[in-house]
Structure 1
Amino acid sequence: MTLETWWLYLGAVVLISCTPGPNVLYVTTRSIRFGLGPAFIGVAGCLTALVLMLTGSVAGLSAVLLALPGAFDVLKIAGAAYLVYLGIQVWREPVAEEAPPPSAGASGATLYRDGFLVGISNPKLLVFAAAFFPQFIDPARAWGPQFALMVATFLGVELLFYSIYALTGRKLADRLMHGLWRRWLNRASGAVFMGFGVALLRFKP
Protein backbone atom coordinates (compact mmCIF):
# COMPACT_ATOMS: atom_id res chain seq x y z
CA MET A 1 0.00 0.00 0.00
CA THR A 2 1.42 3.36 -1.02
CA LEU A 3 1.24 6.44 1.22
CA GLU A 4 -1.27 8.03 -1.16
CA THR A 5 -3.51 4.97 -0.94
CA TRP A 6 -3.25 4.97 2.85
CA TRP A 7 -4.35 8.60 3.00
CA LEU A 8 -7.38 7.76 0.86
CA TYR A 9 -8.14 4.81 3.11
CA LEU A 10 -7.75 6.97 6.24
CA GLY A 11 -10.18 9.55 4.86
CA ALA A 12 -12.74 6.86 4.08
CA VAL A 13 -12.40 5.32 7.56
CA VAL A 14 -12.81 8.73 9.24
CA LEU A 15 -16.04 9.29 7.32
CA ILE A 16 -17.29 5.84 8.34
CA SER A 17 -16.25 6.12 12.00
CA CYS A 18 -17.62 9.60 12.66
CA THR A 19 -21.14 8.37 11.93
CA PRO A 20 -22.72 7.25 15.23
CA GLY A 21 -23.65 3.58 15.44
CA PRO A 22 -24.47 1.08 18.21
CA ASN A 23 -20.87 1.05 19.52
CA VAL A 24 -20.70 4.84 19.79
CA LEU A 25 -24.10 4.96 21.47
CA TYR A 26 -23.05 2.29 23.96
CA VAL A 27 -19.80 4.07 24.84
CA THR A 28 -21.53 7.45 25.18
CA THR A 29 -24.31 6.20 27.42
CA ARG A 30 -21.84 4.31 29.65
CA SER A 31 -19.74 7.44 29.97
CA ILE A 32 -22.78 9.47 31.01
CA ARG A 33 -24.00 6.81 33.42
CA PHE A 34 -20.77 5.50 34.97
CA GLY A 35 -17.86 7.80 34.06
CA LEU A 36 -14.89 7.76 31.70
CA GLY A 37 -13.02 4.82 33.24
CA PRO A 38 -15.94 2.38 32.96
CA ALA A 39 -16.75 3.74 29.49
CA PHE A 40 -13.26 2.84 28.27
CA ILE A 41 -13.69 -0.69 29.61
CA GLY A 42 -16.70 -0.84 27.29
CA VAL A 43 -14.50 0.61 24.52
CA ALA A 44 -12.07 -2.29 25.02
CA GLY A 45 -14.94 -4.74 24.49
CA CYS A 46 -16.09 -2.93 21.35
CA LEU A 47 -12.56 -2.90 19.91
CA THR A 48 -12.03 -6.59 20.69
CA ALA A 49 -15.19 -7.39 18.74
CA LEU A 50 -14.04 -5.13 15.90
CA VAL A 51 -10.69 -6.93 15.63
CA LEU A 52 -12.45 -10.30 15.49
CA MET A 53 -14.96 -9.09 12.90
CA LEU A 54 -12.34 -7.53 10.62
CA THR A 55 -10.03 -10.53 10.94
CA GLY A 56 -12.89 -12.94 10.32
CA SER A 57 -13.94 -10.99 7.26
CA VAL A 58 -10.52 -11.06 5.66
CA ALA A 59 -10.10 -14.71 6.61
CA GLY A 60 -13.10 -15.54 4.50
CA LEU A 61 -15.91 -15.71 7.04
CA SER A 62 -17.92 -13.22 5.04
CA ALA A 63 -17.69 -15.48 1.97
CA VAL A 64 -18.96 -18.38 4.08
CA LEU A 65 -21.85 -16.31 5.40
CA LEU A 66 -22.81 -15.20 1.90
CA ALA A 67 -22.59 -18.78 0.64
CA LEU A 68 -24.70 -20.03 3.55
CA PRO A 69 -27.56 -17.51 3.97
CA GLY A 70 -28.93 -19.49 6.89
CA ALA A 71 -25.76 -18.87 8.92
CA PHE A 72 -25.92 -15.15 8.19
CA ASP A 73 -29.58 -15.06 9.17
CA VAL A 74 -28.84 -16.75 12.51
CA LEU A 75 -26.13 -14.20 13.32
CA LYS A 76 -28.29 -11.33 12.11
CA ILE A 77 -31.30 -12.35 14.19
CA ALA A 78 -29.16 -12.95 17.29
CA GLY A 79 -27.44 -9.59 16.90
CA ALA A 80 -30.69 -7.75 16.29
CA ALA A 81 -32.32 -9.44 19.28
CA TYR A 82 -29.45 -8.39 21.55
CA LEU A 83 -29.63 -4.77 20.40
CA VAL A 84 -33.41 -4.71 20.97
CA TYR A 85 -32.90 -6.29 24.41
CA LEU A 86 -30.25 -3.71 25.29
CA GLY A 87 -32.57 -0.94 24.08
CA ILE A 88 -35.34 -2.20 26.36
CA GLN A 89 -32.93 -2.33 29.30
CA VAL A 90 -31.74 1.23 28.69
CA TRP A 91 -35.33 2.48 28.21
CA ARG A 92 -36.30 0.95 31.56
CA GLU A 93 -33.29 2.12 33.59
CA PRO A 94 -34.55 3.81 36.76
CA VAL A 95 -34.26 7.58 37.05
CA ALA A 96 -32.97 8.93 40.36
CA GLU A 97 -33.61 12.42 41.64
CA GLU A 98 -29.91 12.73 42.47
CA ALA A 99 -27.09 11.54 40.21
CA PRO A 100 -25.42 8.39 41.60
CA PRO A 101 -21.64 8.16 41.97
CA PRO A 102 -20.05 7.61 38.52
CA SER A 103 -18.64 4.18 39.38
CA ALA A 104 -21.82 2.77 40.93
CA GLY A 105 -23.88 0.05 39.33
CA ALA A 106 -21.68 -1.85 36.85
CA SER A 107 -18.68 -4.16 37.07
CA GLY A 108 -15.76 -4.05 34.66
CA ALA A 109 -16.61 -7.53 33.42
CA THR A 110 -20.18 -6.49 32.64
CA LEU A 111 -19.09 -3.34 30.82
CA TYR A 112 -16.52 -5.25 28.76
CA ARG A 113 -18.96 -8.06 27.98
CA ASP A 114 -21.73 -5.72 26.89
CA GLY A 115 -19.31 -3.66 24.77
CA PHE A 116 -18.11 -6.85 23.10
CA LEU A 117 -21.65 -8.11 22.48
CA VAL A 118 -22.74 -4.77 21.01
CA GLY A 119 -19.70 -4.81 18.72
CA ILE A 120 -20.08 -8.43 17.65
CA SER A 121 -23.86 -8.17 17.15
CA ASN A 122 -23.59 -6.63 13.67
CA PRO A 123 -22.58 -9.30 11.12
CA LYS A 124 -23.02 -6.90 8.22
CA LEU A 125 -19.59 -5.49 9.19
CA LEU A 126 -18.15 -8.76 7.87
CA VAL A 127 -19.69 -8.15 4.47
CA PHE A 128 -18.76 -4.47 4.53
CA ALA A 129 -15.11 -5.21 5.29
CA ALA A 130 -14.93 -7.85 2.58
CA ALA A 131 -16.14 -5.29 0.04
CA PHE A 132 -14.24 -2.30 1.47
CA PHE A 133 -10.72 -3.63 2.11
CA PRO A 134 -9.96 -4.91 -1.40
CA GLN A 135 -10.43 -1.40 -2.80
CA PHE A 136 -7.17 -0.38 -1.11
CA ILE A 137 -5.08 -3.55 -1.37
CA ASP A 138 -2.15 -3.60 -3.79
CA PRO A 139 -2.13 -7.15 -5.24
CA ALA A 140 1.53 -6.78 -6.19
CA ARG A 141 2.56 -6.44 -2.53
CA ALA A 142 2.35 -8.84 0.40
CA TRP A 143 -1.21 -8.69 1.70
CA GLY A 144 -0.37 -9.46 5.35
CA PRO A 145 1.35 -6.12 6.19
CA GLN A 146 -1.30 -4.22 4.22
CA PHE A 147 -4.10 -5.93 6.13
CA ALA A 148 -2.35 -5.27 9.47
CA LEU A 149 -1.95 -1.58 8.61
CA MET A 150 -5.59 -1.27 7.55
CA VAL A 151 -6.90 -2.95 10.70
CA ALA A 152 -4.59 -0.86 12.93
CA THR A 153 -5.72 2.32 11.18
CA PHE A 154 -9.37 1.36 11.53
CA LEU A 155 -8.93 0.62 15.24
CA GLY A 156 -7.04 3.87 15.85
CA VAL A 157 -9.72 5.98 14.18
CA GLU A 158 -12.50 4.13 16.00
CA LEU A 159 -10.72 4.67 19.33
CA LEU A 160 -10.37 8.37 18.57
CA PHE A 161 -14.09 8.80 17.91
CA TYR A 162 -15.09 6.61 20.87
CA SER A 163 -12.94 8.89 23.04
CA ILE A 164 -14.52 12.03 21.61
CA TYR A 165 -18.04 10.75 22.21
CA ALA A 166 -17.16 9.46 25.70
CA LEU A 167 -15.64 12.81 26.69
CA THR A 168 -18.62 14.69 25.28
CA GLY A 169 -21.01 12.43 27.17
CA ARG A 170 -19.07 12.97 30.39
CA LYS A 171 -19.23 16.76 29.93
CA LEU A 172 -23.01 16.51 29.73
CA ALA A 173 -23.36 13.97 32.53
CA ASP A 174 -24.25 16.40 35.31
CA ARG A 175 -27.16 17.72 33.28
CA LEU A 176 -28.34 14.40 31.87
CA MET A 177 -27.94 12.04 34.82
CA HIS A 178 -31.18 12.71 36.70
CA GLY A 179 -34.70 14.00 36.46
CA LEU A 180 -36.51 14.64 33.19
CA TRP A 181 -33.29 14.84 31.14
CA ARG A 182 -32.26 11.35 32.25
CA ARG A 183 -35.68 9.91 31.50
CA TRP A 184 -35.65 11.33 27.97
CA LEU A 185 -32.03 10.25 27.44
CA ASN A 186 -32.91 6.69 28.47
CA ARG A 187 -35.89 6.58 26.15
CA ALA A 188 -34.07 8.15 23.22
CA SER A 189 -31.06 5.83 23.64
CA GLY A 190 -33.29 2.79 24.08
CA ALA A 191 -35.27 3.70 20.96
CA VAL A 192 -32.06 4.11 18.95
CA PHE A 193 -30.69 0.73 20.09
CA MET A 194 -33.99 -0.91 19.16
CA GLY A 195 -33.94 0.95 15.84
CA PHE A 196 -30.47 -0.40 15.10
CA GLY A 197 -31.77 -3.89 15.86
CA VAL A 198 -34.70 -3.50 13.46
CA ALA A 199 -32.41 -2.04 10.78
CA LEU A 200 -30.08 -5.01 11.16
CA LEU A 201 -32.97 -7.40 10.56
CA ARG A 202 -33.79 -5.56 7.32
CA PHE A 203 -30.21 -5.68 6.02
CA LYS A 204 -29.65 -7.95 3.02
CA PRO A 205 -26.12 -8.59 1.68
Structure 2
Amino acid sequence: MEFGVWLAMIGLFLAGGLTPGPAVMLVVSSSLRYGFRPAMLPAIGVSTANLVWISLAAGGAAAIAAQFPAGFLVLKLAGLCFIGWLAIGLIRARPRDLRLSREAMPKRAALFGKGLGLQLANPNALVFFGALLPGYFDASRPLILQVAIAIATITFTEMLGLAFYAAGADRLARSFATPSFAKWFNRGAAALMFSSAAFAVWATSR
Protein backbone atom coordinates (compact mmCIF):
# COMPACT_ATOMS: atom_id res chain seq x y z
CA MET A 1 0.00 0.00 0.00
CA GLU A 2 1.51 3.30 -1.11
CA PHE A 3 1.91 6.11 1.40
CA GLY A 4 -0.49 8.38 -0.48
CA VAL A 5 -3.15 5.66 -0.55
CA TRP A 6 -2.70 5.13 3.18
CA LEU A 7 -3.16 8.85 3.87
CA ALA A 8 -6.32 8.80 1.76
CA MET A 9 -7.60 5.87 3.82
CA ILE A 10 -6.93 7.80 7.04
CA GLY A 11 -8.90 10.76 5.70
CA LEU A 12 -11.82 8.58 4.61
CA PHE A 13 -12.25 6.66 7.84
CA LEU A 14 -11.45 9.59 10.11
CA ALA A 15 -14.24 11.50 8.38
CA GLY A 16 -16.46 8.44 8.74
CA GLY A 17 -15.66 8.14 12.45
CA LEU A 18 -16.55 11.79 13.03
CA THR A 19 -19.78 11.66 11.02
CA PRO A 20 -22.85 11.15 13.24
CA GLY A 21 -24.29 7.75 12.40
CA PRO A 22 -25.66 4.70 14.22
CA ALA A 23 -22.34 3.84 15.92
CA VAL A 24 -21.74 7.42 17.06
CA MET A 25 -25.29 7.75 18.38
CA LEU A 26 -25.00 4.50 20.32
CA VAL A 27 -21.75 5.59 21.96
CA VAL A 28 -23.04 9.10 22.70
CA SER A 29 -26.25 7.81 24.29
CA SER A 30 -24.24 5.27 26.32
CA SER A 31 -21.93 8.03 27.55
CA LEU A 32 -24.87 10.20 28.59
CA ARG A 33 -26.51 7.32 30.45
CA TYR A 34 -23.51 5.56 32.02
CA GLY A 35 -20.39 7.75 31.61
CA PHE A 36 -17.31 7.86 29.41
CA ARG A 37 -15.63 4.57 30.33
CA PRO A 38 -18.73 2.37 29.93
CA ALA A 39 -19.42 4.09 26.60
CA MET A 40 -16.10 2.84 25.28
CA LEU A 41 -17.34 -0.76 25.55
CA PRO A 42 -19.78 -0.41 22.61
CA ALA A 43 -17.02 1.52 20.84
CA ILE A 44 -14.73 -1.49 21.22
CA GLY A 45 -17.59 -3.66 19.96
CA VAL A 46 -17.88 -1.47 16.85
CA SER A 47 -14.14 -1.73 16.20
CA THR A 48 -14.25 -5.50 16.66
CA ALA A 49 -17.04 -5.77 14.10
CA ASN A 50 -14.89 -3.72 11.73
CA LEU A 51 -12.41 -6.60 11.67
CA VAL A 52 -15.09 -8.74 10.06
CA TRP A 53 -15.91 -6.02 7.53
CA ILE A 54 -12.25 -5.51 6.64
CA SER A 55 -11.82 -9.25 6.08
CA LEU A 56 -14.88 -9.30 3.83
CA ALA A 57 -13.61 -6.30 1.88
CA ALA A 58 -10.25 -7.98 1.35
CA GLY A 59 -12.04 -11.16 0.28
CA GLY A 60 -14.04 -9.41 -2.41
CA ALA A 61 -17.37 -8.73 -0.71
CA ALA A 62 -18.21 -6.10 -3.33
CA ALA A 63 -17.98 -8.70 -6.10
CA ILE A 64 -20.17 -11.12 -4.13
CA ALA A 65 -22.73 -8.37 -3.53
CA ALA A 66 -22.84 -7.68 -7.27
CA GLN A 67 -23.47 -11.37 -7.94
CA PHE A 68 -26.25 -11.73 -5.34
CA PRO A 69 -27.93 -8.30 -4.96
CA ALA A 70 -31.18 -9.73 -3.58
CA GLY A 71 -29.39 -11.60 -0.81
CA PHE A 72 -27.45 -8.53 0.23
CA LEU A 73 -30.64 -6.44 0.18
CA VAL A 74 -32.21 -8.88 2.65
CA LEU A 75 -29.14 -8.58 4.90
CA LYS A 76 -29.30 -4.79 4.76
CA LEU A 77 -33.01 -4.75 5.60
CA ALA A 78 -32.39 -7.13 8.50
CA GLY A 79 -29.66 -4.79 9.72
CA LEU A 80 -32.04 -1.85 9.41
CA CYS A 81 -34.57 -3.72 11.58
CA PHE A 82 -31.90 -4.35 14.23
CA ILE A 83 -30.91 -0.69 14.30
CA GLY A 84 -34.60 0.21 14.46
CA TRP A 85 -34.89 -1.99 17.56
CA LEU A 86 -31.97 -0.15 19.18
CA ALA A 87 -33.55 3.18 18.24
CA ILE A 88 -36.84 2.19 19.88
CA GLY A 89 -34.89 1.29 23.03
CA LEU A 90 -33.44 4.80 23.08
CA ILE A 91 -36.85 6.41 22.70
CA ARG A 92 -38.30 4.30 25.50
CA ALA A 93 -35.39 4.95 27.89
CA ARG A 94 -36.62 6.53 31.12
CA PRO A 95 -35.39 10.15 31.34
CA ARG A 96 -33.61 11.21 34.52
CA ASP A 97 -31.55 14.16 35.71
CA LEU A 98 -28.08 13.13 34.56
CA ARG A 99 -26.48 15.80 36.74
CA LEU A 100 -27.55 13.93 39.87
CA SER A 101 -27.11 10.28 38.98
CA ARG A 102 -26.25 7.94 36.19
CA GLU A 103 -28.17 4.81 35.33
CA ALA A 104 -26.77 1.57 36.67
CA MET A 105 -24.41 0.21 34.06
CA PRO A 106 -25.56 -3.04 32.46
CA LYS A 107 -23.20 -5.96 32.08
CA ARG A 108 -20.05 -5.15 30.13
CA ALA A 109 -20.80 -7.94 27.67
CA ALA A 110 -24.19 -6.37 26.94
CA LEU A 111 -22.68 -2.98 26.07
CA PHE A 112 -19.94 -4.61 23.99
CA GLY A 113 -22.55 -6.78 22.25
CA LYS A 114 -24.67 -3.77 21.33
CA GLY A 115 -21.73 -2.15 19.58
CA LEU A 116 -20.70 -5.41 17.89
CA GLY A 117 -24.23 -6.21 16.73
CA LEU A 118 -24.95 -2.69 15.55
CA GLN A 119 -21.84 -2.47 13.39
CA LEU A 120 -22.27 -5.95 11.94
CA ALA A 121 -25.84 -5.02 10.99
CA ASN A 122 -25.04 -1.43 10.00
CA PRO A 123 -25.89 -0.77 6.32
CA ASN A 124 -23.53 2.23 6.47
CA ALA A 125 -20.67 -0.23 6.77
CA LEU A 126 -21.48 -1.50 3.28
CA VAL A 127 -20.66 1.93 1.90
CA PHE A 128 -17.26 2.19 3.56
CA PHE A 129 -16.15 -1.43 3.66
CA GLY A 130 -18.03 -3.00 0.76
CA ALA A 131 -17.83 -0.25 -1.85
CA LEU A 132 -14.88 1.97 -0.86
CA LEU A 133 -12.27 -0.05 1.05
CA PRO A 134 -11.54 -2.66 -1.67
CA GLY A 135 -10.25 0.16 -3.87
CA TYR A 136 -7.44 0.80 -1.39
CA PHE A 137 -5.98 -2.69 -1.77
CA ASP A 138 -3.29 -3.22 -4.41
CA ALA A 139 -3.52 -6.72 -5.88
CA SER A 140 0.15 -6.56 -6.94
CA ARG A 141 1.33 -6.20 -3.32
CA PRO A 142 1.14 -8.64 -0.37
CA LEU A 143 -2.49 -8.63 0.80
CA ILE A 144 -1.82 -9.68 4.41
CA LEU A 145 0.35 -6.62 5.11
CA GLN A 146 -2.24 -4.32 3.52
CA VAL A 147 -5.01 -5.86 5.61
CA ALA A 148 -2.91 -5.39 8.76
CA ILE A 149 -2.35 -1.72 7.86
CA ALA A 150 -6.07 -1.28 7.19
CA ILE A 151 -7.00 -2.87 10.53
CA ALA A 152 -4.60 -0.63 12.47
CA THR A 153 -5.64 2.51 10.59
CA ILE A 154 -9.39 1.94 10.75
CA THR A 155 -9.36 0.83 14.39
CA PHE A 156 -7.39 3.92 15.43
CA THR A 157 -9.55 6.39 13.49
CA GLU A 158 -12.80 4.72 14.61
CA MET A 159 -11.84 4.68 18.27
CA LEU A 160 -10.55 8.25 18.09
CA GLY A 161 -13.82 9.52 16.64
CA LEU A 162 -16.00 7.56 19.06
CA ALA A 163 -13.88 8.57 22.06
CA PHE A 164 -14.24 12.21 20.98
CA TYR A 165 -18.03 11.94 20.97
CA ALA A 166 -18.13 9.92 24.20
CA ALA A 167 -16.01 12.51 26.03
CA GLY A 168 -18.17 15.35 24.72
CA ALA A 169 -21.37 13.62 25.76
CA ASP A 170 -19.95 12.82 29.20
CA ARG A 171 -19.09 16.48 29.76
CA LEU A 172 -22.51 17.51 28.47
CA ALA A 173 -24.24 15.21 30.93
CA ARG A 174 -22.26 16.55 33.89
CA SER A 175 -22.69 20.17 32.91
CA PHE A 176 -26.27 20.86 31.91
CA ALA A 177 -28.28 17.75 31.09
CA THR A 178 -31.87 17.66 32.37
CA PRO A 179 -34.60 15.01 32.13
CA SER A 180 -36.22 16.98 29.31
CA PHE A 181 -32.90 17.22 27.49
CA ALA A 182 -32.29 13.49 27.89
CA LYS A 183 -35.75 12.70 26.54
CA TRP A 184 -35.39 14.82 23.42
CA PHE A 185 -31.78 13.88 22.87
CA ASN A 186 -32.67 10.18 22.92
CA ARG A 187 -35.45 10.80 20.41
CA GLY A 188 -33.14 12.80 18.16
CA ALA A 189 -30.36 10.22 18.42
CA ALA A 190 -32.82 7.42 17.61
CA ALA A 191 -34.13 9.30 14.58
CA LEU A 192 -30.61 10.02 13.31
CA MET A 193 -29.49 6.45 13.96
CA PHE A 194 -32.39 4.96 12.00
CA SER A 195 -32.48 7.54 9.19
CA SER A 196 -28.74 7.21 8.58
CA ALA A 197 -29.04 3.43 8.25
CA ALA A 198 -32.16 3.75 6.09
CA PHE A 199 -30.36 6.15 3.75
CA ALA A 200 -27.47 3.71 3.42
CA VAL A 201 -29.91 0.94 2.45
CA TRP A 202 -31.51 3.21 -0.13
CA ALA A 203 -28.21 4.51 -1.51
CA THR A 204 -26.68 1.06 -1.95
CA SER A 205 -29.81 -0.56 -3.41
CA ARG A 206 -30.35 1.62 -6.46
TM-score by length of 1: 0.88
**8 Å CA contact 1:58, 1:129 repeated in 2:** no
Cα distance change of structure 1 residues 85 and 130 upon mapping to structure 2, 3 Å threshold: closer
Residues 36, 166 of structure 1: 8 Å contact kept: yes
CA gap 1:16/1:201 in 2 versus in 1, 3 angstroms: closer
Distance of 2:100 and 2:106 partners within structure 1: 12
TM-superposed CA distance for 1:105, in Å, is 4.3
Kept in 2, the 8 Å contact 1:79–1:121? The answer is: yes
TM-score normalised by L of structure 2: 0.87
Deviation of residue 104 (structure 1)?
A: 0.3
Does 1:15 find its partner at 2:9? no
String of CA shifts for 1:118-174, please: whole Å, max 9, x gaps. Answer: 111124524543442344334432122112102210111111111111100100013
| CA RMSD, 1 decimal | 2.2
Using a 3 Å threshold, how does the CA distance of structure 1 residues 28 and 186 change in structure 2: closer, same or farther?
A: same
- Consecutive unaligned residues in structure 1, runs of 5 or more: none
Bigger drift between 75-84 and 115-124 goes to 115-124
* Structure 1: distance between partners of 2:70 and 2:3: 40
CA 1:90 to 1:127, structure 2 compared with 1: closer, same or farther past 3 Å? closer
Q: CA separation of 1:127/1:175 partners in 2, compared to 1, >3 Å: closer, same or farther?
A: closer
Q: 1: CA distance between counterparts of 2:73 and 2:132?
A: 21
Gaps of 5+ in 2: none
Go from structure 1 to structure 2 and tell me whether the alpha carbon gap of 1:191 and 1:134 turns closer, same or farther (over 3 Å shift).
closer
The Cα shift of 1:8 comes to 2.9
Task: In structure 2, give the amino acid aligned to 1:44.
Answer: I
Q: Does 1:96 align with 2:84?
A: no
State the 1:92 CA deviation: 1.3
Q: How many residues align?
A: 205
After TM superposition, the structure 1 stretch with the greater mean CA deviation from structure 2, 130-139 or 76-85, is 130-139
Distance 1:200 1:98, change over 3 A: closer
Moved more, 152-161 or 173-182: 173-182
State whether structure 2 residue 111 is matched by structure 1 residue 111. yes
Q: Quote the sequence identity (%).
A: 27
Aligned partners of 2:44 and 2:159 also within 8 Å: no
Is 1:145 matched up with 2:178?
no
